Structure 1
Amino acid sequence: MKLRTDLAPLAAAVTDAARALPARPPVPALAAIRLEATPSVLTVAAFDYETSAQATVDAEITAPGTVLVSGRLLADITRTIKGTHPVDLELDGARLLLTSGPTRYTLHTLPLEEYPTLPVPAEAGGTVSGPALAEAVHQVATAASRDDALPILTGVQAEITDDTITFAATDRYRFALRSISWTPAAATGATAKVTIPAKSLAEAAKILATDEQLHLTLPAAHGVLGLAGRSRTLTLRAMEGEVPDHKGLWPTDFTATADLDAAELADAVKRMALVAERGHPVKLHLTDGALALSAGTADDASARDQVTATTDLLTGAPVTIAFNPGYLLDGITALKTDRIRMQIVHPVKPALLTPTDEDPTTLRYLIMPIRQSG
């Protein structure tokens, strides 16, 4: 193998592919990045049996070939090389020579026969907007669990219908739901339901966020979701099981509603969180025309604050509800809106956060309150 390519696209391709490298590879080959030079393009790939990432780079190929090199090391090298010199890659026996101007590296290669076969996505089932996908996944993934005790809760579920993809995630304390449109390849559309690890799906969506149109491969019997942009292709293996059904979760009858400035509310919650010890909530007190916040205890540090709000107390009585400040901030941030509508059923029942525009495709964030003593 022998080729020349520009540094910037090579570094970007290696960085994107390296996102699929496992943190603790079970075998040395899975810590490697696969470089394949064909007559006109260099393909950079990584695979951990669950996620594969492939990126293509335009290159002047003198001699085609394929090689495996340490993925983390190659990513570090391409990220730290400076200047505008092109990069030359040349296989010399069992070593890969990387040269860029005065900088030269000699890298050990790994046996190609030890590397697993990369998954090949099936024919695309339709197309979806890269920016819309990235935003929706980022918003919903914030509600996925970080605890592997219940693995299915660490995933984001994608339910694909004729013209809509609905993403859902929960960690049992909050539930996030967001829909986006997509264009099926067939006139009759297609349906599927698949749960993908939230971290992997978020990484994939981030990599492809700048592509205006992505080709989406629906999961078939082998349970692999495929996403392909202009120069990036990713496959994601589905998890076994489904996220808990959300269709009966969303309340429709409320006792109190408050329309709030998102930035003002977020800043106030952050101030209250400074005195809310671990496991202690931030309390929200809704009265006519105002929302007050409090946190802390009389025996320790405490704080109070107030934000402007348009409130509607259907029972006429003030309402006090308490939340984990981190979960509340996650929801405010994920909504990506200037104004938030908070709708409360009861102080011990989940509250609903939505943008005030009430667009049914925007994020809906259901958050479980903390039961207050006394």
Structure 2
Amino acid sequence: MRFSVERDVLADATGWAARYVPKPTGGTQQVLTGLLLEATLPTEAPGPAASTPAADAEGSSGPGHAGPAPRTGLTVSAFDGEVAARAPVGEAVVTEAGRVVVPGRLLADVVRNLPDATVVVEATDARMIIECGSARFRIPTLAAADYPVLPEFPPPVGEVDTLGFAAAVAQVAPAAGRDDTLAVLTAVRLEIAQGGLTLVATDRYRLAVRTIPWQPTVDGPEAVAHVPARLLADVARLPTGASRVALGMGTDDSGVLRFGLAVDGRQTIVRLLEGTFPNYRRLLPEATELTVTAQTAVLAAAVRRVALVATRTAPLRFVFSAGQVVAEAGEGGGAQASELVPVEYSGPELSVLFNPAFLLDGLAAVEGDEAIIAFVTADPQTASSRPVVLTGKDDGEDYRYLLMPIRTGTA
């Protein structure tokens, strides 16, 4: 294998792919800790890494596309057995075809620290030689023959606006669980329908739901995907100049259900999580009886300050009364804090306990300057144990964050 490419281009591709390289552990195949580099000459027929359904979808002449996607002679890939990542490097000039696996994080670190110049790479089955300016590296390779076959991008089902998708994931993903023994709760549930794309996450203590518009590319796209929340959040927050994200879903040749995201030619393919997701719709109240409107930034700042004196697992008490809410923490002879925040509220006095971190996650997710906290009942005795609905004043029904108060008896 031999190719040349500018340092920044190669650093971007290897750095992106290395994010998906598993850390070396006793149970990890050594070859999976490497990055797979595949180079083809322009006269060669494109292999799976160069031509996929997603590449064809992104190269279509539909909305948001400029025309056919360019074919690449170099592809950088990673695979941990669950998640596959594939990055084409279209700017690379390939003079000798080949396939090699190199320790992933080491390669990314080396390339990132090279001089700002053209990088020339030559590799054999035993080693890779990297030259850039006066710098020269020689890195032993891993057994390319042992590297597993990467899954193909699933059949495309539609496209979604990049910024809108990233914002929706940022609103919903924090509510996902972190307990791997309940794997399905660590997912963001994607409900794919003709009328919209709904993202849902819950850890049983809070629930976040967001619906956004999208553009299906198939008829009747009714499907559900449980995508690992950490992966989805990671993909969504990576900077990109692409205006659209291509989505794919389907069963591969081995019967595994996979979900794919393609952004600017880069593909992330993940095995979907299995399990029964809670029937969240029955938890969403059809109506609420009391609402509190607060300046989002002011309330969030007060919660952060008061929470400083609370123990890690202790809730904050919020006392709502006409025109104000008082946040309180601490008791007995220990540190205590309280802060009054002006709000729009005219109902009876309510005293509710909230997990401050969960409340802050909800406030961070609302859009606009004002947050609305809605209580499903006006009865002060039962309001403290019934879920509240947090939304932004401009969110409408598109985003809802359901938060369970902490019962007084368990505080």
Is residue 368 of structure 1 aligned with residue 404 of structure 2?
A: yes
1:331 CA displacement:
1.1
Show the counterpart of 2:164.
132
| SS of structure 1 residue aligned to 2:31 | helix
Show the counterpart of 1:268.
302
Quote the Cα distance in structure 2 between the aligned partners of 1:191 and 1:11.
Answer: 39
Quote the Cα distance in structure 2 between the aligned partners of 1:131 and 1:297.
Answer: 44
**Residue 168 (structure 1) aligned to one of 168, 191, 200:** 200
Question: 1:5-29: per-residue Cα shift (whole Å, max 9, x none)?
Answer: 0111211111111122123462101
Amino acid of the structure 2 residue aligned with 1:28: Q
**Residue 92 (structure 2) aligned to one of 59, 64, 70:** 59
Quote the Cα distance in structure 2 between the aligned partners of 1:212 and 1:163.
Answer: 20
| SS of structure 1 residue aligned to 2:185 | helix
Quote the Cα distance in structure 2 between the aligned partners of 1:85 and 1:349.
Answer: 62
Quote the Cα distance in structure 2 between the aligned partners of 1:258 and 1:93.
Answer: 66
Show the counterpart of 2:18.
18
Preserved contact between residue 100 and residue 125 of structure 2 (Cα < 8 Å) = no
Instruction: Tell me the matched-pair count.
Output: 368
Name the % identity.
37
**Residue 150 (structure 2) aligned to one of 118, 127, 132:** 118
* TM-score (ref. length: structure 1): 0.94
Quote the Cα distance in structure 2 between the aligned partners of 1:225 and 1:209.
Answer: 20
| SS of structure 2 residue aligned to 1:132 | helix
| SS of structure 2 residue aligned to 1:311 | coil
Show the counterpart of 1:45.
77
Quote the Cα distance in structure 2 between the aligned partners of 1:201 and 1:105.
Answer: 35
1:336 CA displacement:
4.1
Show the counterpart of 2:31.
29
- Structure 2 gaps of 5+ residues are 42-71, 377-382
Show the counterpart of 2:388.
351
Is residue 298 of structure 1 aligned with residue 332 of structure 2?
A: yes
Show the counterpart of 2:248.
217
Is residue 94 of structure 1 aligned with residue 135 of structure 2?
A: no
1:335 CA displacement:
2.1
1:3 CA displacement:
0.7
1:208 CA displacement:
6.9
Quote the Cα distance in structure 2 between the aligned partners of 1:163 and 1:7.
Answer: 44
| SS of structure 2 residue aligned to 1:310 | coil
| SS of structure 1 residue aligned to 2:175 | coil
Amino acid of the structure 1 residue aligned with 2:99: T
Question: 1:315-366: per-residue Cα shift (whole Å, max 9, x none)?
Answer: xx211111011111111112243210011231111111100124322x3111
Amino acid of the structure 1 residue aligned with 2:408: Q
1:312 CA displacement:
3.7
Is residue 75 of structure 1 aligned with residue 108 of structure 2?
A: yes
1:209 CA displacement:
5.1
| SS of structure 2 residue aligned to 1:211 | coil
Preserved contact between residue 125 and residue 141 of structure 2 (Cα < 8 Å) = no
| SS of structure 1 residue aligned to 2:236 | helix
Quote the Cα distance in structure 1 between the aligned partners of 2:154 and 2:327.
Answer: 53
Task: Tell me how large the CA RMSD over aligned residues is.
Answer: 1.7
Quote the Cα distance in structure 2 between the aligned partners of 1:47 and 1:343.
Answer: 44
Quote the Cα distance in structure 2 between the aligned partners of 1:101 and 1:368.
Answer: 59
1:205 CA displacement:
2.3
Amino acid of the structure 2 residue aligned with 1:223: L
| SS of structure 1 residue aligned to 2:247 | strand
Preserved contact between residue 125 and residue 143 of structure 2 (Cα < 8 Å) = no
**Residue 228 (structure 1) aligned to one of 262, 274, 282:** 262
Preserved contact between residue 7 and residue 112 of structure 2 (Cα < 8 Å) = no
1:86 CA displacement:
1.2
Preserved contact between residue 368 and residue 394 of structure 2 (Cα < 8 Å) = no
Show the counterpart of 1:329.
360
Deviating beyond 4 angstroms after TM superposition, the runs of 4 or more aligned structure 1 residues are none
